[in-house]
Amino acid sequence: MASLTPPAPLSPDLVIVGGGMAGVMAALAARTPGNRVLLIEPSNVLGGQGTAGGVAGFCGDSVRVNQPFAELVRRLARHGLIEPYQPNADRRAYDLEWCAFFLQEMVVEAGVDVLLHSRVVGAAADRGRVQRLTVATAGEVHEVTPRFVIDASGACIVPHLTGFPVVHEGANRQLPMSLYFTLWDTGRPVTPVLPEGCPRWRNDDEIPMTSLHRFPSGKVEVKMKVVGFDAADGLSRSAAEIFARRQMHGLIYYLQTVGYRGRRLDTHVLASVSRGIGVREERRILGEHVLTEAEARCAVIFPDAVAVNTYHIDFHWPDRAQRAGTGVTDMLDPHHLPLRMLIPRGARNLLVAGRGASGDQTAMSAFRVMTVAAQMGFAAGHAARQCLARSCELAAIDVPALQAAIEAGGQSLDLSGYGEYLRCDLWAHEEVGSKPPGGSELVIAQGRHACFHLGWRQAGPAGAPERVQWFAERREKRWTAPTGPGPETAAAGAAVALDEGRQLRVGIREGTLWTELSSDGGTTWRAGAVLSVEADAAVRPAVTATRTGAAIAYADTHGRLKFWHGSVERLAGADLVPAAVRLDAPPDEVHGADSQRA
């Protein structure tokens, strides 16, 4: 454990505003012996929504993030304080108090200066360059003149105070807030209490949207939706906190007396409430690029990519409290987040990471979660580190060098390496186009960024090797003619090796395209999925292994080429596809992150 020394005068090279997951990862990426990093956090702990906000679960891919995030997970896992990773679970629960502790220790060990109970209350900029920050601490006000600033506050505090353009949706247009609280099972009936002024409900259709997660220790975590307030407005947010606690006591009374989805929690009492109401949205910058919903849906690829989003759209209706018509939760393929969406328009020494980055509201509903914010923060930290080392501004960043540094830190930018998260919900069955002349045996190859190439295997001249005639390319979920010469190697044939020693083979019998799976090196095979009942047996299909399963190309009996891509579970048969744990998780869902405690 690193020792603490009295804080030195505030003369940092880099100030990071906000100590949530984005801010912490930015600090760990940016800190070097040659520069001083100051991390400013208004709460009494680091972790942001993942600790002070009560959100005790990682959404998105929590395995493929970066090295500092992996170290956090390793420390939690060492003591049984986080669930094992389950690719088809929407959320990975952990102990939030221990998460706050380990984040604290990691930044202190790295030599990052930390100011808790502190916030930026003033800022000045000139011609796109932030020159001064006014920081209010516990009892004092300081003027700070950093060389570089990263805003990871979620509220775009620095851009807002310095006049950079921001988007502020306001009450009933922002994604709504939620209050997190926990109940404890006493093991005996309790006397319900409904304080005066708190709401009373009769059935599940009337209560605010509620999600419950039950732990083996008897603890139940409750997430309760709160609508009608503006998280970026101090007066409105204060009113939201007051309203939410009244609503909370009404909901506890309902859970104790009526019950949720047939289960009454009549032996449970209130144990704790999050330090602050949970916030999904405050402000967003208008950046050098605004990520759109359309780009997110097409698995967009950017030349200046610095992070990858692995989460689905999670758009809660802003003005509806009840669960009915929750919103939009469509799956998204992993897609790039560019450096330009972290740069406020016209900024020279300011980046924004986390949910305040530049994107439309639907795109932001996906990239706002902690695993993705951690990638954005890590990227912003490395960008600041380069600018400080080279004494340059954002316009002069060496993007390839930045990307190399990010990837060296364990944060892959190759989309082909992702797709594990909710992998059974990521699949495609697409028409490539009409079957071109030139062959009867298909070949398929996967390139970087989940791009696929499709062609015919052709015999070469006498004595020459076989060759491939490429005729189609899949990029950003669209099939087009090839944009280049195509890969040098390709997969042909009807069998392929998968993960964990498993093998997959495909075949066509009486027009049916089928799969079989072997777990013993091909000695025995079990029937898998039927992928088509209109397959052309005159054209040999091709299959290639992917990160999560396989991609298959075949021709149908109508002269069209088809592409099928899915997880090993889907290829093995529908009976092996688990039900994903989504926003409406049942109240008796069991998590094990606190099984070693209490």
pLDDT < 50 positions in the chain: 579-598
* pTM, to two decimals: 0.93
Instruction: Measure the CA angle with vertex 249, ends 246 and 253; round to 5°.
Output: 145
For 435, the token pair is: 């079957």
Distance from C-alpha of 54 to C-alpha of 177, rounded to nearest angstrom: 12
Given this model, what pLDDT does residue 574 score?
A: 55
Q: Which two tokens stand for residue 332?
A: 């998204």
> Quick one: pLDDT at residue 576?
54
Please give the Cα distance from 413 to 159 (Å, whole number).
Answer: 27
Distance CA 469, CA 486 (A): 9
Q: If DSSP codes are grouped into helix, strand and coil, which group holds residue 390?
A: helix
Burial class, 414, CB count within 10 angstroms (exposed 0-12 / middle 13-18 / buried 19+): middle
Q: What's residue 597's pLDDT?
A: 26
Digit-coded pLDDT (tens) for 114-130: 999 999 999 999 999 99
Phi, psi dihedral angles at 325 (to 5 degrees) = 70, 50
pLDDT at 500: 76
Contact 99, 92 (CB under 8 A): no
CB burial of 157-194 (b: ≥16 within 10 Å; e: otherwise) equals bbbbbbebebbbbebeebbbbbbbbbbbbeeeeeeeee
- In this structure, the dihedral spanned by the alpha carbons of residues 562, 566, 570 and 572, taken in order and rounded to 10 degrees, is 80
CA distance 291 to 289: 6
Query: So what's the pLDDT on residue 76?
Result: 98
DSSP string, 478-536: EEES-SSS--S--EESSEEE-STT-EEEEEEETTEEEEEEESSTTSS-EEEEEEESSB-
What does the pLDDT read at residue 3? 60
Predicted local distance difference test score (pLDDT) of residue 274: 97
pLDDT tens digit sequence for 262-280: 899 999 999 999 999 999 9
| pLDDT score for 218 | 81
Where do the domains of the chain lie?
14-168+281-417, 177-273, 427-576
Helix (H, G, I), strand (E, B) or coil at 353: coil
Assigned CATH class of 14-168+281-417: alpha beta
Which residues, at least 6 apart from 353, have a Cβ–Cβ distance to it below 8 Å? Answer: 22, 23, 26, 150, 151, 152, 342, 373, 376, 377, 379, 380
Q: Rounded distance, CA 49 to CA 46, Å? A: 9
Phi first, then psi: give them for residue 339, nearest 5 degrees: -55, -35
pLDDT of amino acid 485: 82
CA distance linking residue 248 with residue 203, whole number of Å: 16
